[in-house]
Structure 1
Amino acid sequence: MTPVEIGSLAVLGLIVLIYLGMPIGIGMLSVSFIGVAAIRNDVVSLRMMAAVANDSLREYLFAVVPLFVLMGLLVTISKVGKDTFDVFQQLLRRVAAGLGIATVFANAVFASITGISIASATVFSRVAVPEMTRHGYTKKFATGVVAGSSVLGMLIPPSLLMIVYAVLAEESVGRMFLAGIGPGILLALAFCVTILLLARSNKGFVFQREDDVEEQDEPINGLAILRKSVPIISLILIVLGGLYGGFLNPTEAGAAGAFGALVIALARRSLDPRSFWSLLVETGQITVSVLFLILAATFFSRMLAMSGVPRELAELFLTGPVGPYGFLLFYILLIIALGCLIDSISIMLILLPIALPIASAAGFDLIWFGVLTVVAVEVGLLTPPFGLSVYIIKSAMDDPDLKVGEIFQGAFPFVLAMLVSLALIIAFPPIATWLARL
């Protein structure tokens, strides 16, 4: 067999292994080892695996993963998310469907601290949904707003998916973070417009009764708002201010943010030795799983490069009738389809080793291509049957009367808003690239 045929069989083999339930990292390592051994020999395959393990994980940059994960977990346990929601609830209390918009803005700010969609979905399903249902919103709409806005965690910096993409595409993490700001704001605004349109055109979807009027809580005084805002603003200034001000590199910004989050958690007495140990263990588990997947994806990428599959696919897409934007459409649809079945990071690690060489040959800006990838991947968090954010909300709510199907229905308008935003980013690339390329 030719190397291209071997590489193609390896890709098909990986799909079969995933379908059979094998962990994705192990599946990628297995097909990569067998593929290299078939193209060259067992000795080369063993040496390449050792080289990949050394090259892919020794970089100083990878320390950013556990630091941002730890910061996100500390912020979650210190109830900064609830304070963020309270502040925006007070500021938007007179706006139609104001609690829904407050949830979106609170999620956007929370995303700029944590960078993990699952954390946002967990926190706001416990904070925002009970408040919204108490004020007369339907559970379907309340959970849909939380599910939709939780995806901002992987787009607005700092973002774990942006870090993974930067590593695979060999782009600057700082530039990828900058590239997420414009699309993140666009997506937040699209969600707010969606909420306003639903509140005016389909009140039965938003409110429990069409004549419902939100009851108003006692207003929070300015001092209380300031007290709740200080921890949020402080962390944003430490992490993003230090990073974009040139004082800190991404790893140092992660360390400063984790330390700041630890100080906040200790000051609020929300952290004891047992819970701190649990957070460290959870941080280690998440970090090891991410780094193992990166290692496997690096080996998979090198095997594909050796086989010549990306080169052949680039010629097929770019010289035939499909063309560069035909490839881009196919790529985005494939990501959304895979999002119905597997998690975000796994989608990127499987597809990017194949797609990046084609995108580069097509002349696409790889930072813009990365933003499109992350937005398309995030759509998969809201689509059945996998819909990870939806199931996180269901498990966090622990409400037997709440059906998974209701959450999917509530999230559907936000899926449409994400697709419109994706089309706008494709049509106007500077939304993603302007800040990053300054």
Structure 2
Amino acid sequence: MEFSSVNVGLASVVAIVVLIYAGTHIAIALGMVSFLGVWLLKGNVDVAFNLLSLAMADSVTDEAFATVPLFVMMGLVVSRCGLGRDVYDFGNTLFKEVRGGLGLATVAANAIFAAVTGSSIASASVFAKVAIPEMVRYRYGKRFAVGIVAGSSVLGMIIPPSTMLIIYAVVTEQSVGAMFLAGVLPGVLLSVAYCVAILLMVRFASGFVGGELSGHKRPPLSIVLKEGAAKLGPVLLLVSVVLGGIYGGILTPVESGAAGTVVAAIIGAVKGRLNFKAIWGALVDTGHITANILFLIIAASIYSRMMGIAGLPTLFGEWLGGVNMSLTSFMLLYVTLLLLLGTIIDTASIILIVVPLFLPALEPFGINLIWFGIITVVGAEIGLLTPPFGISCFVIKATIDDPSITLNDVFMGALPFAAVMLVVLALLIAFPQISLAFL
């Protein structure tokens, strides 16, 4: 029996979505449907097996993928060193005399922490333990407290070194260093937007924010500088090694990840916070996370090849060209798809599923792939704050030890910050130079 390439391609997309909604693991859904799709298209199971083996070999041997376990390991070591708490404590010292100051401190701490972890999940778990109890103690609204932690945790996926930017670079064969450079200003812009939103909430929605001043005066400048050197010094050293090494042309992204991991371990050992058990736990978790990402990349690789055999990306690009869609309409369609998918699957899966489909359609518009990657990551990250998936919200709920805070509270608290992300996304689309300023 012969099957139309287009029909197989379309049926595969529908099947993947159905399997995901049914609770099937993303990698299994992608791999299984793609394998069957190639089998149907070629009528030969050996061809499907060969394509799967090629996808595995290409994914494992891609040097860019080696950055994933190294940066994941560095983030886990940093998390276990307690550097997130140090950064937050210093931020609290700076903003303690400002109404809503703990919220500002949380955003600032998350932005700095993101520059050494590259993980939203790590940020969410760390600051759920550090920031939320402190904000509740000072009578901040519980929804505001969990919302600002959830919202600012997404900075870990935008501010370099970001695992999502690495995955996008692997999929589109772009420079990891260029993606990191492009993520700097958007990350800073989102951090500033969150801070402005907090100040506006304090002014116009004080009931939602709540909070009271600590009653303690800010210490003298000499004490603040001494505390800053002690608590921010190790973090700034780590950032200098990792990002300075890449941007200075001294280290490749792979080498900077390895150097960062070693420096983070040394910092943890010097502070007396990193023992053999913590290191072993970080190694095991790195293996689990890396294996999960690798399986996703392998499955996405065979999926993109199956789609290429079916010709669906080419037909999709021709269809877009045939309807004379403007760049604005194209980006509106793309962002809408990102937001919808973000409610059910994680950012990595969105990148691996959607980007290969849209790549052939980008050429007529002359879209810069680096800028397109920033738009993709920011758009998909909004899904981390929205139900039913909202993985950052689930992590926060699972981490906090407060039964009075429900999952609904976490989602409702994160909603204003998801709206802020949407505004920032619109600015990034309207002004591509924000992402490309350092390139």
Same fold (TM over 0.5): yes
Distance in 1 between residues matched to 2:420 and 2:363, nearest whole Å: 28
1:136 CA displacement = 2.6
SS at match of 2:385: coil
1:318 CA displacement = 2.6
1:289 corresponds to: 292
1:229 corresponds to: 232
2:47 corresponds to: 44
Are 1:330 and 2:358 matched, yes or no?
no
Greater CA drift, 149-158 or 18-27: 18-27
In the TM superposition, structure 1's runs of 4+ consecutive aligned residues that sit over 6 Å from their partners are none
- What is the RMSD of the two structures over their aligned residues, measured on CA atoms? 1.5
Distance 1:306 1:158, change over 3 A: same
Distance in 2 between residues matched to 1:97 and 1:214, nearest whole Å: 11
1:12 corresponds to: 14
Opposite residue 153 of structure 2, the aligned amino acid is S
Distance in 1 between residues matched to 2:264 and 2:232, nearest whole Å: 14
1:370 corresponds to: 373
The aligned length equals 433
- Answer yes or no: is the 8 Å Cα contact 1:126–1:396 preserved in 2: yes
Q: Sequence identity, in percent?
A: 47
Are 1:154 and 2:157 matched, yes or no?
yes
1:147 CA displacement = 0.6
SS at match of 1:224: helix
- Answer yes or no: is the 8 Å Cα contact 1:135–1:215 preserved in 2: no
Distance in 2 between residues matched to 1:284 and 1:347, nearest whole Å: 22
Greater CA drift, 114-123 or 358-367: 358-367
Distance in 1 between residues matched to 2:117 and 2:150, nearest whole Å: 16
Distance in 2 between residues matched to 1:70 and 1:5, nearest whole Å: 42
- Answer yes or no: is the 8 Å Cα contact 2:92–2:102 preserved in 1: yes
TM-score normalised over the length of structure 2: 0.95
Distance 1:318 1:215, change over 3 A: farther
SS at match of 2:161: coil
Q: Alpha-carbon deviations, 1:375-399, whole Å to 9, x = none?
A: 0111001011221111111111121
SS at match of 1:381: helix
Are 1:246 and 2:264 matched, yes or no?
no
Distance in 1 between residues matched to 2:287 and 2:256, nearest whole Å: 19
SS at match of 1:358: helix
Distance in 1 between residues matched to 2:57 and 2:106, nearest whole Å: 43
Distance in 2 between residues matched to 1:218 and 1:432, nearest whole Å: 36
Gaps of 5+ in 1: none
1:306 corresponds to: 309
Distance 1:42 1:373, change over 3 A: same
Q: Alpha-carbon deviations, 1:164-188, whole Å to 9, x = none?
A: 0000011100000011001111101
Gaps of 5+ in 2: none
TM-score normalised over the length of structure 1: 0.96
Distance 1:217 1:408, change over 3 A: farther
- Answer yes or no: is the 8 Å Cα contact 2:96–2:214 preserved in 1: no
Match of 1:77 among 77, 80, 83: 80
Q: Alpha-carbon deviations, 1:230-274, whole Å to 9, x = none?
A: 111100000011110000000000000000111111112222222
2:139 corresponds to: 136
1:217 CA displacement = 6.4
Greater CA drift, 89-98 or 77-86: 89-98
1:93 CA displacement = 2.6
Opposite residue 136 of structure 2, the aligned amino acid is T
Opposite residue 9 of structure 2, the aligned amino acid is G
Q: Alpha-carbon deviations, 1:109-155, whole Å to 9, x = none?
A: 10000000000011111111122222231111111111100000000
Distance in 2 between residues matched to 1:431 and 1:377, nearest whole Å: 19
1:216 corresponds to: 216
Distance in 2 between residues matched to 1:306 and 1:279, nearest whole Å: 40
1:318 corresponds to: 321
Distance in 2 between residues matched to 1:312 and 1:151, nearest whole Å: 34
1:161 CA displacement = 0.3
Opposite residue 276 of structure 1, the aligned amino acid is I
Distance in 2 between residues matched to 1:225 and 1:246, nearest whole Å: 29
Matches within 5 A, 1:267-416: 267-416=270-419
- Answer yes or no: is the 8 Å Cα contact 1:136–1:213 preserved in 2: no
2:183 corresponds to: 180
Are 1:28 and 2:55 matched, yes or no?
no
- Answer yes or no: is the 8 Å Cα contact 2:99–2:213 preserved in 1: no
- Answer yes or no: is the 8 Å Cα contact 1:317–1:324 preserved in 2: no
- Answer yes or no: is the 8 Å Cα contact 2:96–2:218 preserved in 1: no
1:363 CA displacement = 1.8
Q: Alpha-carbon deviations, 1:206-246, whole Å to 9, x = none?
A: 115xxx44433673543222111111110000001111000
